[in-house]
Amino acid sequence: MSSTANTDMSEFWNGEGGEKWLRFQQTIDASLLPFGRKVMAAAGILSGERVLDVGCGCGDTSFDMARLVGSSGRVLGVDISEPILAHATARAMSIAEKNVTFERGDAQLHGFDAAAFDLVFSRFGVMFFDDPRAAFNNLRAALRPGGRAAFICWRPAKENEWVSKSLEVVSRHVPLLDPPGPEDPGPMSFGDPERVTRILTASGFSTIEVNSFDTPFTIGKNLDEAVAFLTQMGPASGAIAQSGANEMVKSTIAADLSDALAPYNTGVGVTMDAATWIVTAQKAA
């Protein structure tokens, strides 16, 4: 892997973050499918195109886009996490996808071939850079002239019911973590559209559009799965872990969360409102 500037995030995604992501991979892929498809539609992916999937995770969107670009196109998924990428690679081998490859790397620094892609795509994979301006500069260099970027990121926590509700319930039992600073990397770090526009402009992109996309988000097939997701992987999980809560406190949190989520249980899934930005931009022709 190329050397990394994103030491904390690299440690997280190669450690507990990666382990959790893999544990919930099937649920996450099913739940995030509509989010990725929305970006693909916004990007207008064409047959034969070369796509770079940034922070590709277990490769779900890479495989999806491989079908859109067809045998004359190709998709490269890049991810900083060794265990997550190993899973993506194993999936590729098991389904014998020929037009998808994966490379481990930090997208901020990775030496992509210059002008090798028509599209830089990401589903929730571009909010973790220490230096987002450098990262998007690197990604722009990988695009051909006139190439485009399209990604989805979360709007602020207060607009995402699945985040705010879980934080509110957990805060009754353990102290929440200090909120990250406005320039700190993290899942909600692209919530401010002006910041996103500023980063993309400074990285040499133009024709920048940031459009809201509100959609139901299924956080689990049932209450138990939803509670497990929110307490182990979701935004409140860090506070629970850091508090050193004992098993009794953890089971009280789980019971309270289950009560709070019950009204969102449709019988086929626990579904809450999610608020995102769909961002598109272009490299000058």
Ligand X SMILES: C[S@@+](CC[C@H](N)C(=O)[O-])C[C@H]1O[C@@H](n2cnc3c(N)ncnc32)[C@H](O)[C@@H]1O
Residues of the shown chain interacting with ligand X in the complex, contacts defined by CB under 6 A:
6, 9, 13, 28, 32, 55-57, 60-61, 78-81, 84, 106-108, 123-125, 128-129
For residues 128 and 162, which CB has a smaller minimum distance to ligand X in the complex?
128
Within 10 angstroms of residue 35's Cβ, the number of other Cβ atoms is 19
For residues 13 and 136, which CB has a smaller minimum distance to ligand X in the complex?
13
Closest approach of Cβ 102 to ligand X, in Å?
11
Which residue's entry shows tokens 């098993």?
247
Are 108 and 81 a contacting pair, CB within 8 Å? no
Closest approach of Cβ 162 to ligand X, in Å?
14
For residues 109 and 239, which CB has a smaller minimum distance to ligand X in the complex?
109
In terms of C-beta density within 10 A (0-12 exposed, 13-18 middle, 19 or more buried), how is residue 275 classed? buried
Strands (E), the chain: 50-54, 74-79, 100-104, 117-123, 143-154, 205-220, 270-283
- Count of CA atoms in the C-beta half-sphere (13 A) of 138: 18
For residues 80 and 228, which CB has a smaller minimum distance to ligand X in the complex?
80
For residues 80 and 253, which CB has a smaller minimum distance to ligand X in the complex?
80
The rounded distance, in Å, linking the Cα atoms of 206 and 284 is 7
Closest approach of Cβ 150 to ligand X, in Å?
13
